[in-house]
Amino acid sequence: MQRHAEEVPPGASLAEKVEWLIRNLWPAEAQPPRNNVETAAAIARATGEDISSTTVWKLRTGRQENPQLKTLTALATFFGVPIGYFGFSSESDPIGDDLTLKALRRDVEHGIIRPEVLRALVDLSPEARWVVDEMILAAAEADRERHA
């Protein structure tokens, strides 16, 4: 599974947060899931918490907005994130920023993002960086629309 750090917007729903974790912070030692059954099984194996594929489906599709604390704890444990990530945006936004950096670092370590690209971005003038920022945001939006 190729990972790329997609932005989770401020005030993102629980479904968007869960989906972002699955796409961007799936543990390297766990086999990437092909479906909700494999996702639930991996979480259950790693945490000992019995989580069903139906629960995973409900979380990913937004049909379960208020899961049990034990379910959120299992997700937080499995993905190595603070449980506050699933809370209100005032608490979760800074955590989300840290997780985005973690995902980027992991992508660099796995060769998905080349380190020289990040170095070049840092070395750009503010004007040139703004142009690159706009191109990245436009490409991300086009990618989301293509996969929607």
Give the pLDDT confidence of 70-124 residue by residue, as tens digits.
999 999 999 999 999 998 877 888 888 888 888 888 889 888 889 898 889 889 9
The answer to whether 24 and 2 are in contact (CB under 8 A) is no
Residue 105 CA: distances (Å) to CA of 43, 56, 62, 113? 23, 27, 29, 9
Distance CA 47, CA 144 (A): 31
Closest CA to 24 of 78, 128, 96, 100: 100
List the structure tokens of 124. 């750009």
Sign for the CA dihedral angle at 102, 107, 108, 109 comes to positive
Confidence of residue 2 (pLDDT cuts 50, 70, 90): very low
Highest mean pLDDT among 21-30, 71-80, 139-148: 71-80
